[in-house]
Structure 1
Amino acid sequence: MKKRVYIAGPLFSQAELDFNENVEKSLNDLGYETFLPQRDGHTLSDLISRGEPEDDAIKKIFELDVREIQKSDILLLILDGRVPDEGACVELGIAYANKKECIGLKTDSRCLMENLDNPLILGALDGKIARSIDDLRNFL
């Protein structure tokens, strides 16, 4: 049975979306099944534009993502950026609380503190932070 990876990361620029798709393709090439929120989930703007009330749209996104994290074996947190994406950090917390394997991917040298990311994020990842997609293959 294929292991399932939930890809948690920022979804707000074309560069972020393209990077996420590249990571997802690499995981598929390695034989993993994936959940990529930008492709497989909902966006707030799409739901609202289709007439969904804002509160219902938020609940729908949250509940789907929680279910998909629970169905996954691994959560991959994309850490690139000055700070990790807030939503992705919540997804990490949900995965950690559900005893899922959590792995980080950080190709960006920026950090919030001197050469360190947030200790709660680092603790949830337990030192498993790949520095490239090739390095990620070694973790998996």
Structure 2
Amino acid sequence: MSPGTDREVGGIVYCSGPLFCPEELGGMTAIARVLEESGFETFLPQRDGLEAYVLPLVNSALNIKAGPVRPFINRAIFCLDMYQIVHRCGSVVVNLNGRVPDEGAVAETAVAFALGKPIVMYKHDARTVFNGMDNSMITGLSPFRVETLEEIPVALRRARKQAGSCSFAPCSQGALPSEMQKAVEFGARVWSFLQGLNRLGGGRRVADELIDEIARLCRDYPVTDSPG
């Protein structure tokens, strides 16, 4: 999470978008970079969230150990990201590039919309020209849409100005539906754990500790399979 001068007037910017291949990771890094160079502080899941630890496990021997607790890890990722959007981040920049927008990014943006947070939509994808606009249920989430990286900080400042300072404040206790409140509270616990983990650096020991601790935390937040 990179510091910036705009945190005091609008909170951290949540960078939402796809992160499952090198090209997608590079695109998200570019979005965070242009914001940080413009003075904003960002939360980039692939760098600052559980994804930073989980994605490298996919092609490693530790993936075998992680397999049985994968439902717990998925739950922890969801709850941590909800905590960031609801409580820590004042606005969202969403990357809509791709044949279709990333499903997780759409869900995150919808949550931000429901909370009244400023949203900027970035899309620079030739497939839009051929296939038309994205679904109106997506484009309707924000009037602030840009096609170049350089436009993102300008659009975000405009979106924040229009929304007003009240949109940047965390939601008060009891203001959320009970299940969302439960997820946010669990996400806060995961975030606290990650802060300690970050101080240990990387390596197999950290990955092992991550898997064990996520499983322990999730005993208080059970994940059940859907009936088959």
Q: Which stretches of structure 1, 4 residues or more, deviate above 4 A after TM superposition? A: none
Partner of 1:11: 19
Give the 3 Å change call, closer, same or farther, for CA 59–106 of structure 1 in structure 2.
same
What is the CA-CA distance between 1:114 and the residue it aligns to? 4.5
Write the deviation string for residues 78-99 of structure 1: whole angstroms up to 9, x where unpaired: 0111110001111111111111
* Residue 123 (1) aligns with residue 140 (2): yes
Q: Distance between the aligned counterparts of 1:57 and 1:112, measured in 2?
A: 37
Asked whether the equivalents of residues 112 and 118 of structure 1 are also in contact (C-alpha less than 8 Å), the reply is no
Of 54, 59, 65, the residue aligned with 2:70 is 54
One-letter identity of the residue aligned with 1:62: F
Q: Distance between the aligned counterparts of 1:26 and 1:75, measured in 2?
A: 14
Of 23, 33, 39, the residue aligned with 1:31 is 39
One-letter identity of the residue aligned with 1:92: T
Moved more, 38-47 or 27-36: 38-47
More strand by share: 1
What is the CA-CA distance between 1:115 and the residue it aligns to? 2.2
Partner of 1:87: 104
Give the 3 Å change call, closer, same or farther, for CA 111–99 of structure 1 in structure 2.
same
Residue aligned with 1:111, SS:
helix
Partner of 1:76: 93
Larger Rg: 2
Q: How many residues align?
A: 139
Tell me the percent identity.
32
Q: Distance between the aligned counterparts of 2:129 and 2:110, measured in 1?
A: 19
Q: Distance between the aligned counterparts of 1:85 and 1:114, measured in 2?
A: 16
What is the CA-CA distance between 1:42 and the residue it aligns to? 1.4
Q: Distance between the aligned counterparts of 1:128 and 1:82, measured in 2?
A: 21
TM normalised by structure 2 equals 0.56
Write the deviation string for residues 13-36 of structure 1: whole angstroms up to 9, x where unpaired: 111111111111111111111110
TM normalised by structure 1 equals 0.89
Q: Distance between the aligned counterparts of 2:150 and 2:42, measured in 1?
A: 17
What is the CA-CA distance between 1:109 and the residue it aligns to? 2.7
Give unpaired runs (5+ residues) of structure 2: 1-7, 157-228
